[in-house]
Amino acid sequence: GAVVSQHPSRVICKSGTSVKIECRSLDFQATTMFWYRQFPKQSLMLMATSNEGSKATYEQGVEKDKFLINHASLTLSTLTVTSAHPEDSSFYICSAPRGYSPTDTQYFGPGTRLTVL
């Protein structure tokens, strides 16, 4: 079946540093990928839509200069948290729909746990 991977699975960094998270679709191409954030005991909140070959679109309230997204290829999207602060500590999850129909199954990555000290 379709698989979406994320790397790293866990990262701890110091406040002020930047962290890059990779999201890969392993056996299908994804022109669109989505990035979500999940705080403890809360649901997933959509942050942005990553579009291959064009700029990402961000949800209201998400700082595009802080959360840089690059959709470098049809199988790779990266999220860079710049100048990370403790409040950015969260579980970051990407997803990719396999296909172009709204009913195509979306596959989620295993998530990346970011802890900012």
Partner 1 sequence: SQKIEQNSEALNIQEGKTATLTCNYTNYSPAYLQWYRQDPGRGPVFLLLIRENEKEKRKERLKVTFDTTLKQSLFHITASQPADSATYLCALEYAGGTSYGKLTFGQGTILTVHP
- Chain residues in the site for partner 1 (CB under 8 A): 4, 6, 32, 34, 42-46, 49, 57, 91, 93, 95, 97, 102-103, 105-111, 113
CB of 108 to partner 1, least distance (A): 4
CB of 91 to partner 1, least distance (A): 8
List Cβ neighbours of 114 (8 Å cut-off, separation of 6 or more). Answer: 11, 13, 19, 21, 81, 84, 88, 89, 90, 91, 92
Question: Are 54 and 79 contacting, i.e. CB atoms less than 8 angstroms apart?
Answer: no
CB of 23 to partner 1, least distance (A): 10
Q: How far apart are CA 2 and CA 11, in angstroms?
A: 25
Whose structure tokens read 């990779």? Answer: 22
CB nearer to partner 1: give 7 or 82.
7
CB nearer to partner 1: give 19 or 34.
34
CB nearer to partner 1: give 29 or 42.
42
Structure tokens at 49: 């839509």
